[in-house]
Structure 1
Amino acid sequence: MNNLGDSSAQSFFSEIAVNLVAIVILYWGKCGPSACSTRYLVATAVADLLTIVFAVILRRVGYYYFPGTFLDITPVCSVIAVPGEAATDCSVWFTVTFTFDRFVAICCQKWKIKYCAGKTAAVVLTTTGVLLCFINMPYLFIYHPLKVVDNIPWDCVRKPGTYTDPGWVGYDRLSTVLTPSLPFVLILLFNALTVRHILVTSRVRKGLRGQSKAENRSDPEMESRRRSVILLLTISGSFIILWSVSVAQLLYNTIAGLDQNTYNDSEYIFQHTGDMLMILSCCTNTFILGVTQSKFRQQFISAAKYPLTSIIQLINKQNT
């Protein structure tokens, strides 16, 4: 068990290191389709990183593999729950804002200059982050201790009343609508409109340029849009696939009228499978950027080689 815990912790710490490198490369290298979209990608990477730290390492890895530490004290795990939930929500909604940014940039030329700007992105991201942190503050009060040892409350167990109290029931429904139900619908909608616009525009541009099947002249504008759409669809498509189990579970629970107190074994497994895939969605964006963006790949490789090249240069200087 200890070996398994050590390997799990090491893998997550490696993921943190990779995300930190990705954030630095995105911030300084400007590897996104535009400076504005780069801000959305940086914000999403930061939210993913915080999700790994709070929702995975401090809550799950710490609880299962390192029990009995100060992280299991009730006030501590209640405090950790807030940034964990907020970071997950931010990761989801920053993906929505990035999708909407690309939708405006590609489909709404009249709004592009005003909306697709660095200041606008900063306002949108800051407002979204602050609101989501505020919405998740009730997690401070949703848990009570499982046991009390020497006047110290241990473990975080959800209070039974939160499953039946109208206020908490309403809060749960609001939370499920905000994440992931509404983002799921919005991402599908914006992607569908963006793809439809590109297909129509592509036909028109080909007609205006007099292209035929025998001709193969490049169109820089369409090539730029193609790269942007590949990144957009890959990130949002990954989100849709990895969150689909959680969305299906929410729909099933709503239709069947279930809550966590009434889960059987298969429903419990289904829930945790959705949680696992949900967390995995916060670890895929760096890989997606590496696959779809050549500039990001180049700078990532350069960053990986930098320590080795620095050592070689230092050795060469000492030898000379």
Structure 2
Amino acid sequence: MHGPANGPLYAIYYPILAAVGVPANLLGIVILARGRCGLSRCITYYLMAIAAADFLVIITAVILNRIGGIYFRFSVLSTTPACKLSAVLVFATRDGSVWLTVAFTFDRFVAICCHGLKTRYCTKKTALLVIGLVSALSCIKNVPFHFTYQPLYTLDGVPWFCDIIAAYYSSTAWQAYDWLDHILTPFLPFLLILLLNALTVRHILAASRARRKLRGAESHGDQEMINRKRSIVLLFAISLSFLLLWVTYVGHFLYVRIPGEVYFTGLDFNDPDYILQETTNMLQLLSSCNNVFIYAVAQNKFREELRKVMMYPFATLTSCFKR
């Protein structure tokens, strides 16, 4: 990783992101694991998996890659073997987080729109199978990235930093892999989430109109409609957050690749192209620490459990003093 443009901004942003993202995702995992948020086991497993993937993104991409590159530039993290491993882990955890969001969106689409399939698909067993499959494929798909880097230079026999091999931009095979990588993350997930949410919204609106006609004036007090609205708030909040924070990444890829340019690898860190590239990375990484806050805003029971967990140390200390 090269030194960041406008150093103070990046040097402050990433530590703050890590300081917020690590405890937020851990809290989310703990609260969801308690199973007291009024969510089905199926939804709970997906949300726990997303929180775990986001936690790993913060560890690998933010702490090891970004913060390590800024504050520990000539540590073991900057040697070429460590740099290669870091790159594979960053891409694998990123893909896992993205595709688990897609899996959760599809699960909710089936639950809301496909009642015939719901009882067979929206189960704990299916959720665990999908989570395991997504995690395994995310790791396998990104192994080739290990071979796209070479040492930037070698000092006293030690290879330092990572430089993208020239063949990555000239070889047809590597270019195909690059397009496949960006199609699978985030183009296809982006389009799938848009499509699934559009179909879900259409189904909900049609079902709501039909239900209002059947119930007439009683529809204002229809508890089932109220529960349905609450259940989809979480889905839409997570999906829209993903779309908004990844849209710049999609735009940047099109801006770079359609004209046949290459990603910025120069040394002028005040270059607008580098600033745009790093801004897309900042927003993409921000998507890995905001889901817990979405849960807290969208779910009353999650807020209650969050309050209990936050107050637990103080309650324990108080009870010790009383004894």
Same-fold status (TM-score > 0.5)? yes
Secondary structure of the structure 2 residue equivalent to 1:209: helix
Corresponding residue of 1:182: 188
Corresponding residue of 2:176: 170
Query: 2:38 & 2:166 partners in 1: Cα distance?
Result: 46
Query: 1:165 & 1:7 partners in 2: Cα distance?
Result: 36
Q: Is the 8 A contact 2:264 2:274 kept in 1?
A: no
- TM-aligned CA distance change 1:101 to 1:4, over 3 Å: closer
Q: Is the 8 A contact 1:73 1:152 kept in 2?
A: yes
The correspondence for 1:228, drawn from 220, 226, 231, is: 231
Query: 2:291 & 2:10 partners in 1: Cα distance?
Result: 25
Query: 1:143 & 1:4 partners in 2: Cα distance?
Result: 24
Question: Any residues of structure 2 matched to 1:277-296 within 5 Å, and which?
Answer: 277-296=283-302
Query: 2:125 & 2:9 partners in 1: Cα distance?
Result: 47
Query: 1:219 & 1:297 partners in 2: Cα distance?
Result: 25
The correspondence for 1:199, drawn from 195, 202, 205, is: 205
Q: Is the 8 A contact 1:32 1:38 kept in 2?
A: no
Corresponding residue of 1:91: 97
Q: Is the 8 A contact 2:21 2:288 kept in 1?
A: no
Secondary structure of the structure 2 residue equivalent to 1:258: coil
Moved more, 169-178 or 62-71: 62-71
Question: Any residues of structure 2 matched to 1:96-245 within 5 Å, and which?
Answer: 96-211=102-217, 217-245=220-248
| Percent identical residues | 45
Please tell me whether residue 306 in structure 1 is matched to residue 312 in structure 2: yes
Corresponding residue of 2:255: 252
Secondary structure of the structure 1 residue equivalent to 2:73: coil
| CA apart distance, 1:4 | 8.3
Q: Is the 8 A contact 2:105 2:235 kept in 1?
A: yes
Corresponding residue of 1:28: 34
| CA apart distance, 1:6 | 7.8
| CA apart distance, 1:13 | 3.4
Consecutive aligned runs of 4 or more in structure 1 exceeding 4 Å deviation = 1-8, 261-264
Query: 2:256 & 2:104 partners in 1: Cα distance?
Result: 30
| CA apart distance, 1:17 | 1.6
Query: 2:287 & 2:192 partners in 1: Cα distance?
Result: 17
Corresponding residue of 2:3: none
Query: 1:189 & 1:255 partners in 2: Cα distance?
Result: 24
Question: Any residues of structure 2 matched to 1:8-23 within 5 Å, and which?
Answer: 8-9=14-15, 11-23=17-29
Q: Which runs of 5+ in 1 are unaligned?
A: none
- TM-aligned CA distance change 1:184 to 1:10, over 3 Å: closer
| CA apart distance, 1:239 | 0.4
- TM-aligned CA distance change 1:261 to 1:238, over 3 Å: closer
* 1:143-192 per-position Cα deviation (integer Å, ceiling 9, x unaligned): 11112122111111111221111111111000000000000000000000
Q: Is the 8 A contact 1:29 1:299 kept in 2?
A: no
Query: 2:276 & 2:76 partners in 1: Cα distance?
Result: 30
The two structures have a TM-score, normalised by structure 2, of 0.92
Q: Which amino acid aligns with 1:79?
A: L
RMSD, aligned α-carbons: 2.1
Q: Which runs of 5+ in 2 are unaligned?
A: 1-6
Secondary structure of the structure 1 residue equivalent to 2:159: strand
Q: Is the 8 A contact 2:212 2:219 kept in 1?
A: no
Q: Which amino acid aligns with 1:219?
A: D
Query: 2:147 & 2:227 partners in 1: Cα distance?
Result: 49
- TM-aligned CA distance change 1:204 to 1:45, over 3 Å: same
- TM-aligned CA distance change 1:56 to 1:4, over 3 Å: closer
Query: 2:275 & 2:312 partners in 1: Cα distance?
Result: 44
Q: Is the 8 A contact 1:32 1:41 kept in 2?
A: no
| CA apart distance, 1:255 | 2.8
Q: Which amino acid aligns with 1:48?
A: D
Secondary structure of the structure 2 residue equivalent to 1:210: helix
* 1:41-60 per-position Cα deviation (integer Å, ceiling 9, x unaligned): 11110110000000111001
Query: 2:78 & 2:245 partners in 1: Cα distance?
Result: 29
Moved more, 106-115 or 77-86: 77-86
